[in-house]
A and B are shown apart, each in its own frame.
Chain A
Amino acid sequence: MCDIIWCKKCNTVNYLDPYCFWNWEGKINCAECGEVYYIHMIQGHMYRGPEPRPGEKPDIMPLYADKPLEGYKNYLPGTEGRTRPYNCTPRHIYLGHADYRKFSIRNRPMRAWAPQPAAGGVAGAYGFYWDIKKLSPEVWEEYQEKIKKGEVRDW
Chain B
Amino acid sequence: MTDPREVRLEDLPGPKSREELEDMKAPYEEYCRKLFDVGNEYVKPAALDGIRWMSCTMYIFTPHSVSNLAELGAEVIKIEMPRMGDPMRHTSPFNECYYYPLHDTRPKTGTGIGVLNANVNEYYITMDYHREEAKEPFYRLVKMSDGLTECYRPGTFDRWKQSYRYLQEINPRFIYVWGGGFGYGPKAFGGSYDILGQSHAGLASITGFHEDFGGHPVKHTNWCIDWYSGTQITVAVLAALYWRRKTGLGTMIEFSQVQAATRCTGYAVPLYGRFGVVRQRWGNWDTQLCVHGIILCGKSDYPDEKNPQLRNEARYVMVSAFNDPDFKELCNIIKRPDLYEKYKTHKQRVEAEAQVEIYREIEKWAADKSRSEVVRILTDAGILAAPVKNDKEVYDSEHFRQRGSVRWLDDPMMGDVLCHSSFSCGLLSETPRRKFWDFRPVGADNIKVYHELLGYPMSTIKKWYEENLI
Tell me the count of chain A residues lying within 8 A, CB to CB, of chain B. Answer: 44
Choose among A87, A124, A132 the residue that contacts B312 (Cβ–Cβ < 8 A).
A87
**Which of A27-35, A56-64, A69-77, A93-101 makes up part of the contact surface?**
A93-101
A109 in contact with B415 (CB, 8 Å): yes
What sequence of 0s and 1s flags, for each residue 441-470 of chain B, a beta carbon within 8 Å of any chain A beta carbon? 111111110100000001001101100001
A108 in contact with B415 (CB, 8 Å): yes
Assess whether B352 is interfacial by the CB under 8 Å rule. Answer: no
Assess whether A8 is interfacial by the CB under 8 Å rule. Answer: no
B462 in contact with A112 (CB, 8 Å): no
Hey, which chain A residues are within 8 Å of B99, CB to CB? Answer: 110-112
B96 in contact with A96 (CB, 8 Å): yes
Q: A122-B447, A126-B440 are in contact. Are A87 and B308 (CB under 8 A)?
A: yes
What sequence of 0s and 1s flags, for each residue 240-260 of chain B, a beta carbon within 8 Å of any chain A beta carbon? 000000000000000000000
Assess whether A115 is interfacial by the CB under 8 Å rule. Answer: yes
Assess whether B100 is interfacial by the CB under 8 Å rule. Answer: yes
Assess whether B97 is interfacial by the CB under 8 Å rule. Answer: yes
Q: A18-B216, A108-B415, A109-B415 are in contact. Are A98 and B440 (CB under 8 A)?
A: no
Hey, which chain B residues are within 8 Å of A93, CB to CB? Answer: 307
A111 in contact with B414 (CB, 8 Å): yes
Which residues of B from 406 to 444 have beta carbons under 8 Å from A?
A: 408, 410, 412-418, 440-444
Q: A108-B415, A111-B413 are in contact. Are A90 and B465 (CB under 8 A)?
A: no
A106 in contact with B408 (CB, 8 Å): yes
Q: A18-B214, A116-B107, A130-B415 are in contact. Are A122 and B461 (CB under 8 A)?
A: yes
Q: How far is the CA of A43 from the CA of B159 in the complex (A)?
A: 53
B104 in contact with A118 (CB, 8 Å): yes
**Closest chain B residue to A117 by CB distance?**
B101
Tell me the count of chain B residues lying within 8 A, CB to CB, of chain A. Answer: 52
B308 in contact with A104 (CB, 8 Å): no
Q: How far is the CA of A17 from the CA of B288 in the complex (A)?
A: 32
A3 to chain B, nearest CB (A): 13
Q: A18-B216, A88-B309, A98-B98 are in contact. Are A123 and B107 (CB under 8 A)?
A: no
**Closest chain A residue to B105 by CB distance?**
A124
Hey, which chain B residues are within 8 Å of A109, CB to CB? Answer: 415-416
Hey, which chain B residues are within 8 Å of A97, CB to CB? Answer: 95-96
B211 in contact with A112 (CB, 8 Å): no
Choose among B101, B410, B446 the residue that contacts A122 (Cβ–Cβ < 8 A).
B446
Q: How far is the CA of A150 from the CA of B450 in the complex (A)?
A: 45
B306 in contact with A114 (CB, 8 Å): no
B95 in contact with A123 (CB, 8 Å): no
Q: How far is the CA of A110 from the CA of B212 in the complex (A)?
A: 48
Assess whether B78 is interfacial by the CB under 8 Å rule. Answer: no
A110 in contact with B415 (CB, 8 Å): yes
Assess whether B110 is interfacial by the CB under 8 Å rule. Answer: yes
Main secondary structure of the interface of A (DSSP, over half): loop
**Closest chain A residue to B408 by CB distance?**
A106
A124 in contact with B100 (CB, 8 Å): no
Hey, which chain B residues are within 8 Å of A88, CB to CB? Answer: 308-309
Assess whether B109 is interfacial by the CB under 8 Å rule. Answer: yes
Assess whether B187 is interfacial by the CB under 8 Å rule. Answer: no
Q: How far is the CA of A111 from the CA of B216 in the complex (A)?
A: 40
Which residues of B from 79 to 99 have beta carbons under 8 Å from A?
A: 93-99
**Closest chain A residue to B124 by CB distance?**
A126
A144 to chain B, nearest CB (A): 15
Choose among B408, B413, B442 the residue that contacts A129 (Cβ–Cβ < 8 A).
B413
Q: A123-B461, A123-B465, A130-B412 are in contact. Are A104 and B418 (CB under 8 A)?
A: yes
A112 in contact with B413 (CB, 8 Å): no
Assess whether A6 is interfacial by the CB under 8 Å rule. Answer: no
What sequence of 0s and 1s flags, for each residue 94-124 of chain B, a beta carbon within 8 Å of any chain A beta carbon? 1111111101110111100000000000000
A116 to chain B, nearest CB (A): 4
Choose among B308, B446, B458 the residue that contacts A124 (Cβ–Cβ < 8 A).
B446
Q: How far is the CA of A95 from the CA of B97 in the complex (A)?
A: 10
Q: A98-B98, A111-B100 are in contact. Are A125 and B446 (CB under 8 A)?
A: yes
Choose among A19, A90, A98, A122 the residue that contacts B458 (Cβ–Cβ < 8 A).
A122
**Closest chain A residue to B418 by CB distance?**
A104
What sequence of 0s and 1s flags, for each residue 383-411 of chain B, a beta carbon within 8 Å of any chain A beta carbon? 00000000000000000010000001010
**Closest chain A residue to B96 by CB distance?**
A99
Hey, which chain A residues are within 8 Å of B145, CB to CB? Answer: none
**Closest chain B residue to A126 by CB distance?**
B444
Assess whether A92 is interfacial by the CB under 8 Å rule. Answer: yes
Besides the known contacts A96-B95, A155-B408, 20 further A-B residue pairs in the complex with CB atoms under 8 A apart: A43-B214, A44-B214, A94-B94, A95-B94, A103-B416, A104-B415, A104-B416, A108-B416, A109-B416, A111-B99, A111-B413, A114-B101, A116-B107, A122-B461, A122-B465, A124-B103, A125-B446, A125-B447, A130-B413, A130-B414
Interface CB pairs A-B, < 8 A, 15: A18-B216, A93-B307, A96-B94, A104-B416, A111-B99, A111-B100, A112-B98, A113-B100, A114-B110, A115-B101, A119-B101, A123-B462, A124-B105, A126-B413, A155-B408
- Nearest 9 pairs of A and B residues by beta carbon: A22-B214, A110-B415, A108-B416, A124-B443, A123-B465, A115-B107, A126-B444, A104-B416, A123-B446
